[in-house]
Amino acid sequence: MKIQLSTESFASAAVDVLAVAVRSKHVTDDPNVRAIDKAMGGILVPQLKDQEFKGGEGKTFSMLARGRVKAKRVLIIGLGDKAMGSRLHRLLGVIASRSSQSKASLALIAPDLEADTLRCLSEGLITGTYKYTRYFTGDRKPKRELKKLVVLGKGKLTPAAREAVAQGQAVGETVNLARDWVNCPPNDLTATVLADAAAEESKKLGIACKVLDKKAIEKLGMPLLLAVNRGSKEEPRFIHMTYAPKLERGAAKPKKIVFVGKGLTFDSGGLCIKPADGMLTMKMDMGGAATTIATVLAAAKLGLPLEVHGIVASTDNMTGSDAYKPGDVYPSRDGKTVEIINTDAEGRLVLADALAYARDLEPDYLIDHATLTGACMVALGGFTAGLFTNDDGLRDAYQKASALSGESFWAMPLDESLRDQLKSQIADLKHTGSRYGGAITAALFLREFVGKCAWAHLDIAGPAWMDKDHGLHPQGGSGFGVTTAVELLRALSAS
């Protein structure tokens, strides 16, 4: 679905829904509302006042159109009192699309035709249309879907404006891909299927993608990944995607950013088995992998002047007869030996080998996304990711990027006083500490494998999965982290 950019009059837009945003303090004084009211014969403003619509953030008002307005329905979207910015532009697009999902067409009046506005609006429109319907049949299958999206603006449509719309759409599409992978049931999304999907999408964009099977992983040397895989009948996969921009002769070597994703396609907890209700959403334990793959795809679609790698170690964590056990000791790719304490803390093991591999690529920045700990959710709730880093500059850059994206990250400490919890009597490291500060000790364990790289660990256990629609994100797989990573890459491109 292509987003159309148009300067036609809002009144002549023959669509199912005509949407416009308003601020809390100016609902009935908003110029667009006044213009629509006039075209509808003066019936819109009285209805807004009668319903006491205040324009609170995320609130909507809808009514049938009248008079000279050709749209079937008018939708007013509240944006609260905050200054308009990237996050609110995205939210505007999401709410407009989400409110029109049972319709066939939508026209959204843009606040302006600035490139950043159009990019974020377009991204929001695409992500707002998202619904996972792959397994619906019969009456459950959607009867209608939003097929036409129009952004209306005043002024001249420049090539830069059209490019901004295309960029927003490209990022929105990659976010939706990540959501599809997270939502897919674990019987259909194995490590092999995820790797094949990454390879297929990479091929479309000319991204190099190397996929290693179990024998190749053994040869490469990833004992911790293989340990987690021991209880499964499904083979593991290791994915290495590489986007390299085309450079003019004599151009400086671009910055290298390596993203690493935890790819647990299902987590039973292994022999330290989870309770039944704790397993119900564990298909989402590859959310970090989905974010990593989608980020590299987005970088390629946008043609960013950076070298961007995506590293994914993928398996499921099962209870087969050869499953790894508490008390086992395994070597790592890094060389350090690890004593297994709890088989339900498998994510940090597969990440350890993946980070050691990624470290050897000598990146300027090394960033991992992982649905790693319930402890991070206890600390920050279900909507905020934990941000751990050994580099203050990278922390500041990520927080600036998250402010633009509208995704919530909170800087967490790498508390050295907790490091002793990882000391083992029989190996170099234990892979877990106590449950107090569990997200921090998990990050401290990962830090053992990154060397001197400027590194950030993003614990997205909470926001990778939504129990219901929340802000920018839909129920189910959220695609959390992609837009923030893209904003970070934009900033690094400009620096």
Per DSSP, the three-state class of 122 is: helix
Residue 121 near residue 92, CB atoms below 8 Å: yes
Residue 486 near residue 298, CB atoms below 8 Å: yes
Helix, strand, coil fractions of the chain, as percent rounded to 5: 40, 20, 40
What is the Cα–Cα distance from 128 to 103, expressed in whole angstroms? Answer: 13
Look at residues 394, 366, 225, 238 and name the one whose alpha carbon lies nearest to residue 309: 366
* All residues at 6 or more sequence positions from 5 whose CB lies less than 8 Å from its CB, including other chains: 118, 150, 151, 153, 157, 161, 162, 165
Look at residues 29, 39, 37 and name the one whose alpha carbon lies nearest to residue 9: 39
What is the Cα–Cα distance from 368 to 459, expressed in whole angstroms? Answer: 8
Tokens matching residue 174? 């990659």
Tokens matching residue 129? 């249309």
What is the Cα–Cα distance from 56 to 60, expressed in whole angstroms? Answer: 8
CA distance from start to end of the chain: 33
What is the Cα–Cα distance from 311 to 181, expressed in whole angstroms? Answer: 16
Tell me how many degrees the CA angle 312-316-318 measures, rounded to the nearest 5.
Answer: 155
CA R_g for the chain: 24
Q: In which order are the strands placed within the sheet that holds 105-109? A: 3-6, 148-152, 105-109, 17-22, 73-78, 60-64
- What is each CA distance from 464 to 117, 275, 278, in whole angstroms? 26, 20, 15
Within 10 angstroms of residue 348's Cβ, the number of other Cβ atoms is 25
Catalytic residues: 274, 348
Q: Which 3-state string (H, E, C) describes 392-442?
A: HHHHHHHHHHHHHHCCEEEECCCCHHHHHHHCCCCCCEECCCCCCCHHHHH
Identify the residue whose tokens are 């416009």: 20
